[in-house]
Structure 1
Amino acid sequence: MLRALLGRKSNPLIIDTPEKLAQALGTGYETTSGQRVTTNSALQQLVVFNCVRVLAESIGMLPCRLMKQTDKVRLPATSHRLYPLLTMAPNGYMTAQEFWEMLVACLCLRGNFYAYKVEALGNVVELLPLNPDIVQPKLNDDWSVEYKVNFKAGPQTLTQKEIWHVRLFTLDGLNGLNPIAYARQTLGLGQAMDAHAGKLFTNGAVTSGVLRTEQQLTDEAFGRLKTEFQGEHMGVANAYKPMILEMGLDWKPISLNAQDAQFIESKRMTEAQLCGLFRVPPHLVANMDKMTLNNVEQMGMNFVNYSLVPIITRIEHRIQVGLLNEKDRLTHYAKFNAGALMRGDLNGRYNSYGKGIQWGILSPNDCRELEDENPREGGDIYLTPMNMTTKPEATDDADKTAP
């Protein structure tokens, strides 16, 4: 009505890209660089895609088992209904690896992961992941948690008993912080650099030199020259083509300005900041600058300890609290086997096995089980080093009685 009174015509927005959809829904994040950052636009930056993929696939390949502890004995709880969900398939269309990869990707890009719990006889028998965009958690005055889910059939309010919620570190105890939202300025700068690089290489000839002449060109000659020059000499595909100049035209190459000269260095700094956001070592995203054999090995261990273990521990605790009933959570717990990360290091595995057997920590059959090998006869014996004892007098008595 106001547009009609003011004489303005409406210009409907044609939504044909994820960015336009985010703009219409208001789900993007404005930045000082003028770029609108969304989850999809952030993933289009190669370093972000690589970081998320490294974290998701690294955790997705780790075996997760449900364990049961009785006194000091810990054994796999293979008879529990939750065991096949964690090890094989949490639902009818996803494998366990795909499920864990999706969970980690949601944490990296949204800060929260939600799944609908299908229960039977008090046990969770299926986990159905939900799009974090359609779930809105709320903490009530009585400290109970409810989730408003916008299903296609209509919104529903579900309880904590029906939703499994895994979150990153939080300030209110309920909502995980969204890394993309808090890093939107750096991500926007990266998007602006990518756009600048695209224009720089598309207009390669324009940014690298000028055409100069002492004569005055007619409008027809200027238009013909512009059309021919843009079609024959602009862009990377037309680089190094010979130029045919007329009417005294002269090509004068110019160097890039200071901002373009520092472009690569600025982009490297932005990529390093994004690696720091996800705590992924640069060499895992194909950035080998300043990498040596020594620091690559150390950074690999840091990646496990400070990047994967915090996420793994977060998931393990949420499994124990959110997927087990009050009785089972006292004796059952979930455990990711981080030792699977050493599958490619045969020498390192065998060295650790040798030390474990030598000091009585592992038996040969324990090591064979870790290598997916069948047990051998007599392989369940745990060795005790002869130079280690808790009763020194026993050795003295043995010496006295020796012939």
Structure 2
Amino acid sequence: MLNQLARTLGLTTKTSAAKPLIALSFGSRAAWTPRDYAALSKEGFARNPIVHRCVRLISEAAASTPLAVQSAGEGEHPVARLLAQPNPDQSAQEFFETHYGFLQIAGNAYAEVATLDGAPREVFTLRPDRMRVLPGKRGWPDGWEYSANGRKVTFARDRASGRSPILHMRSFHPTDDHYGLSPLEAAAASIDVHNSGGAWAKALLDNAARPSGALVFNAGEGSNLTDDQFDRLKAELMDAYTGPANAGRPMLLEGGLDWKPMAMSPADMDFIEARREAAREIAQAFGVPPMLLGLPGDNTYANYKEANLAFWRQTVLPLVRKSARAFTGWLSPWFENEFEIVADTSALPALAGERTSDWARISEADFLTDAEKRRLLGLPDAS
């Protein structure tokens, strides 16, 4: 009714074409994690604390890095307002946290631009598992298809103008032309080891933290338990000696019965160290120093400060700069005035020590003019 009235009055509306397509999805249970988005996100991000923390650390740190818009024109560029409030439902922090999170979990991140009178006004994130690349005759993507709740929406790019309603960012994948490789997929085996170790420890605790064993009946040659005796003994064991409530309870054995442990002890299996090694491998796949996750036994970094600086320099800032360039190339065809989106690192607390050192070193360089010093420090020319 409202849309019909708007058309009658000659008004235009802007909205996300994919936003109305909402569906609930339920992933299937997997023993060994399949290499697909639903299983990896469920077994990894939703059930593994190391993966969860790695994705949160990267996405939150990257989203907290301000993006600045540099342009030759006077006044604030429209892209700056777009990045400050991408859409009515998300702040800039929430939008980019979701964007970076999808990139870490799926290896792919999609953004959709909604236009009004031919100009971008809103930007939305789209779930990567609902997107499908539509390659053209030459293999290059000609569009994308978004599917949800039995409905599909197709987005086509305009090769002539360079405008595209979809931004598709992807991680490097050596064997796929259209989709990226997620760190979650690279660490899938370590995730299974870590999750299995947790399940084994939980089962051990549920069994009174005792290894399994066998009751041996030795009442003389040719003597065996009757069926009724066997069933009664099994029921007593289940009711009186298993479960955390019966931890440490002494076992009373009748004549001819002897307890023989059968399983290896946790020390023999060394599963705790195996879980720690798996956790370190997961952290390395995401580019997060294990020290930041509180993992013991890793002495690669001298202290936490150095580990945090390496995390920002080697993981967070390259991701933010890659995204800034991608958004610049994606949004540039929509505007006449040239601009560039850059990562503003001037106020990041993690880099405060480096900034102080740079300021001192450049200010002491007597062979540089004041204008050259300002340019090296990333400051605008003095008016």
The TM tier, using the shorter chain, reads 0.7 to 0.9
Give 2:236's aligned residue.
Answer: 228
Q: Distance in 1 between matches of 2:265 and 2:92?
A: 52
Q: Paired residue for 1:62, among 65, 75, 79?
A: 65
Is 1:305 aligned to residue 313 of structure 2? yes
| Residue pairs, 1:2-401, within 5 angstroms | 18-20=26-28, 29=34, 37-43=39-45, 44-69=47-72, 79-87=76-84, 89-141=85-137, 143=140, 145-152=142-149, 154-160=151-157, 161-171=164-174, 174-204=178-208, 207=211, 209-215=213-219, 217-247=225-255, 249-251=257-259, 256=264, 261-291=269-299, 294-325=302-333, 328=336, 330=338, 332-342=339-349, 361=373
Q: CA deviation at 1:54?
A: 0.9
Q: Is the deviation greater in 97-106 or in 193-202?
A: 193-202
Aligned-residue Cα RMSD (Å) equals 3.9
Q: Distance in 1 between matches of 2:245 and 2:355?
A: 50
Q: Distance in 2 between matches of 1:64 and 1:124?
A: 18
In structure 2, do the counterparts of structure 1 residues 245 and 341 end up closer, same or farther at CA, with 3 Å as the change threshold? farther
SS in 1 for 2:333: coil
In structure 2, do the counterparts of structure 1 residues 227 and 65 end up closer, same or farther at CA, with 3 Å as the change threshold? farther
In structure 2, do the counterparts of structure 1 residues 180 and 247 end up closer, same or farther at CA, with 3 Å as the change threshold? same
Structure 2: tracts of 5 or more residues without a match: 1-23, 158-163
> 2:65·2:343 contact (CA, 8 Å) conserved in 1?
yes
> 1:139·1:145 contact (CA, 8 Å) conserved in 2?
yes
Larger radius of gyration: 1
> 2:291·2:298 contact (CA, 8 Å) conserved in 1?
no
SS in 1 for 2:78: coil
Q: Which amino acid aligns with 2:274?
A: S
Tell which has more relative contact order, 1 or 2 (C-alpha 8 A, sep 6+). Answer: 2
Q: Distance in 2 between matches of 1:290 and 1:309?
A: 23
Q: Deviations over 1:56-105 (max 9, x none)?
A: 111122222222257xxxxxx86222212323x21111111111111111
Q: Distance in 2 between matches of 1:78 and 1:111?
A: 37
Q: CA deviation at 1:145?
A: 2.5
Q: Distance in 1 between matches of 2:296 and 2:154?
A: 49
SS in 2 for 1:307: helix
Q: Deviations over 1:223-250 (max 9, x none)?
A: 3333333333323443223444444645
In structure 2, do the counterparts of structure 1 residues 292 and 266 end up closer, same or farther at CA, with 3 Å as the change threshold? closer
- TM-score normalised by structure 1 residue count: 0.70
Q: Distance in 1 between matches of 2:90 and 2:104?
A: 20
- TM-score normalised by structure 2 residue count: 0.73
In structure 2, do the counterparts of structure 1 residues 84 and 231 end up closer, same or farther at CA, with 3 Å as the change threshold? farther
In structure 2, do the counterparts of structure 1 residues 84 and 149 end up closer, same or farther at CA, with 3 Å as the change threshold? same
SS in 1 for 2:89: coil
In structure 2, do the counterparts of structure 1 residues 117 and 327 end up closer, same or farther at CA, with 3 Å as the change threshold? closer
In structure 2, do the counterparts of structure 1 residues 22 and 140 end up closer, same or farther at CA, with 3 Å as the change threshold? farther
Structure 1: tracts of 5 or more residues without a match: 1-15, 71-76, 370-379, 383-403
Q: Deviations over 1:8-33 (max 9, x none)?
A: xxxxxxxx99442889xxxx6269xx
Q: Which amino acid aligns with 1:154?
A: R
> 1:117·1:124 contact (CA, 8 Å) conserved in 2?
yes
Q: Distance in 1 between matches of 2:299 and 2:245?
A: 34
In structure 2, do the counterparts of structure 1 residues 293 and 117 end up closer, same or farther at CA, with 3 Å as the change threshold? closer
